[in-house]
Amino acid sequence: MVAVPIPPTTPPMTPAPTPVGSPRKAQILREAAQLFARHGFHGVSIVELGAAVGISGPALYRHFPSKEALLARMLIGVSERLLAGGTALAGEITDPGELLAALVDFQLDFSLREPELITVHDRDLANLPTPDRRQVRALQRAYVEIWVDALCRYSPGLTAEAARIAAHGVFGLLNSTPHSTPKGGSPVAAGLLRRMAMTALTDPALVL
């Protein structure tokens, strides 16, 4: 097997915040993500959410009509951010190997900075109303296809199905941070996860 050089680390592009209407809404979303990740969506009351941001529970309804609407904004928002960041990278980088490296760095940076959103997504996506859940899934599928396109251009013999499987496998690796890495990560964890992801994506055996 021929060793494939791993492109150098690219400067991380932190997912750009999705406009949420006000600094108070952004604060509520941040605190809610922490609380939902720690206790689960059903384990956090409106009163507890309000207390976390210094307002009464009922006052939250001035910002979000329901707890489900808050969860929807949280999960749709992060999916929009990832898709926007991946789209921007794909528009800026033409070399598929460099693009794969940039996408890995982008996803890893998010995973290290905001592991609580990964936990909330994995545990509580099913608590979204069906239309919101479908929107999240559609955004995620579009993001995956950016990776699929880069992989198929990097390895022309790779089928789209195999590229999709590989991309999801790497997401599982990079999104392991809630279980494997302290929030914010460490140079050792970040470097190891990146090398493992790039090795998996660039392994010539993928096309066999």
58 within domain boundaries = no
Helix (H) or strand (E) holding 35: helix 23-39
Q: Is residue 31 part of a domain?
A: no
CB < 8 Å & 24+ apart, contacts of 25-33:
25/63, 25/64, 25/73, 27/53, 28/53, 28/60, 28/63, 28/64, 28/70, 29/70, 29/73, 29/74, 29/77, 32/70, 32/71, 32/74, 33/74, 33/114, 33/116, 33/117, 33/120
Residues 6+ apart with CB under 8 A from 33: 74, 114, 116, 117, 120
* pLDDT on residue 59: 87
**H or E element: which one contains 147?**
helix 130-154
Predicted confidence at residue 193, as pLDDT, reads: 95
- 103-107, 152-156, 181-185, 191-195 — which is least confidently predicted? 181-185
> What is the tens place of the pLDDT at every residue in 34-56?
999 999 999 999 999 999 999 88
- How many domains does the chain contain in total? 1
Residue 194: inside a domain: yes
Answer whether residue 94 is part of any domain: yes
Average pLDDT, the chain: 89
In a domain, 53, yes or no: no
Domain that holds residue 155: 71-207
pLDDT per residue over 124-180, tens digit each?
999 999 999 999 999 999 999 999 999 999 999 999 999 999 999 999 999 999 988
Question: In CATH, what number is assigned to the domain containing residue 192?
Answer: 1.10.357.10
- In this prediction, residues 67-84 reach a mean pLDDT of 97
Residue 7 tokens, joined = 């492109």
pLDDT of residue 1: 32
In this structure, is residue 184 part of a structural domain? Answer: yes
- pLDDT at position 3: 40
Domain assignment present for residue 49? The answer is: no
* Amino acid, single-letter form, for residue 200: A
pLDDT of residue 7: 55
Q: What is the pLDDT of residue 14?
A: 45
Quick check: 114 pLDDT over 50?
yes
What's this model's pTM, rounded to 2 decimal places? 0.87
Residue 118 in any domain: the answer is yes
